[in-house]
Amino acid sequence: MTQILEIRDLKALAKRRVPKLFFDYADSGAWTEGTYRANEEDFAKIKLRQRVLVDMSNRSLETTMIGQKVSMPVALAPTGLTGMQHADGEMLAAQAAEVFGVPFTLSTMSICSIEDVASVTTKPFWFQLYVMREREFVLNLIDRAKAAKCSALVLTLDLQILGQRHKDLRNGLSAPPRMTPKHLWQMATRPGWCMKMLGTNRRTFRNIVGHAKSVTDLSSLGAWTTEQFDPQLSWKDVEWIKERWGGPLILKGILDPEDAKMAAKTGADAIIVSNHGGRQLDGAPSSISMLPRIVDAVGHQIEVHLDGGIRSGQDVLKAIALGAQGTFIGRPFLYGLGAMGKEGVTLALDIIRKEMDITMALCGKRSITDVSRDILTE
């Protein structure tokens, strides 16, 4: 491949460089993957208005997300196992995001720990929290994020139980991978990935191992993660988490206007319209199809962000036009990371920035803060 011009080019390269079980983890959804596909496909149904003979000079994509300045309305989404797409993946992605001027969100289920990422960054990053049954561990996670000076907490609401993802089950996904003949072959055919992984000691869930009481070694980790997601999580839990955290709070996983209204009452700073990348309830509507209804319901009360299906700068622009203040990208930066490491993450962000900038100009706008539904056709 001589030129990388779009996110799908990075995806193709990542597929050649990352072992199948980890590439499939990023590139899959629950059950039939219908919602996963709809997240992307529904963006294509939204059409843009072309405008001409307007001043296109001095354009700006700068805006804010939860009051924090960003170079464009994009944050790197929390993604599990990022450090299995590329050695030290979370650390590299966080560094790329910092230089680019966009937020990086570290997942609870990351390979590199909160402290690992804090050690290689100079600006605050965001931390995503899963609420586990072991409450002492959750409180400790919040305190660790505060100690690392994280500037926002992203509380995920839509993973009380784990949706079934056929590819992960068929691949026997784990971190580190089990040394079965199948897995050994998958890794042996990706020598570059193997060499980089041999150069790091970060190969398991470092936010958990050594911090959760019942996880004493790798053999106990798998059972812990499958049993620990709390099916009794409720709106009451948001209250004590918000109090313990004491900083900006974003609620992720809202897909219904009624839930959006409940979220707005919690006093959180923002919500993320999301279906977990199509990885939880297959058959649910796409994130972008629900965005206008949720913005209409609560956009005057709470900041609304969007996650799911974004593969281009045009997708970001469409989300902003429909009322989102910001967006989150997961797979695009994972493809970049798997393809080219930190340079690939920067390239993914740059591709999205250029697409958004040119499209905004061709729609007759010079500033992202002026973009509204009037750039869309009926």
Q: Domain range for residue 42?
A: 7-47+72-348
* 59-85 as b/e: b if 16+ CB within 10 A: eebebebbeeebbbbbbbbbbbbbbbb
| Domain assignment of residue 358, yes or no | no
| Domain assignment of residue 223, yes or no | yes
| Domain assignment of residue 28, yes or no | yes
The single residue of 183, 276, 300, 305 carrying the catalytic annotation is: 276
What is the per-residue pLDDT for 225? Answer: 73
Percentage with pLDDT > 90 across the chain: 90
What is the per-residue pLDDT for 58? Answer: 97
| Domain assignment of residue 2, yes or no | no
Question: For 257-292, how does the pLDDT look when each residue is reduced to its tens digit (9 = 90+)?
Answer: 999 999 999 999 999 999 999 999 999 999 999 999
| Domain assignment of residue 377, yes or no | no
What is the per-residue pLDDT for 1? Answer: 55
Question: In total, how many domains does the chain have?
Answer: 1
Say whether 156 counts as a known binding-site residue: yes
Do residues 74 and 352 lie in contact, with contact meaning Cβ atoms separated by under 8 Å? yes
Residue 176 pLDDT level (bands cut at 50, 70, 90): confident
| Domain assignment of residue 280, yes or no | yes
| Domain assignment of residue 244, yes or no | yes
Say whether 301 counts as a known binding-site residue: no
* 253-290 as b/e: b if 16+ CB within 10 A: bbbeeebbebbbebebbbbbbbbbbbbbebebbbbbbb
Task: Identify whether 166 is a catalytic site residue.
Answer: no
Stretch (H or E) spanning 371: none
- The neighbour count for residue 320, using CB atoms within 10 Å, is 26
| Domain assignment of residue 368, yes or no | no
Average pLDDT score over residue span 74-93:
98
Say whether 232 counts as a known binding-site residue: no
Residue 378 has pLDDT above 90, yes or no: no
Task: Provide the β-strand partners of residue 250.
Answer: 154, 270
Say whether 2 counts as a known binding-site residue: no
Compute φ and ψ for 376, nearest 5 degrees. Answer: -105, 150
Say whether 307 counts as a known binding-site residue: yes
Six-digit token string for 201: 């000691």
Cα distances from 85 to residues 77, 166, 266, 333, in angstroms, run 15, 19, 36, 10
Question: For 306-325, how does the pLDDT look when each residue is reduced to its tens digit (9 = 90+)?
Answer: 999 999 999 999 999 999 99
Task: CATH number of the domain at 26, please.
Answer: 3.20.20.70
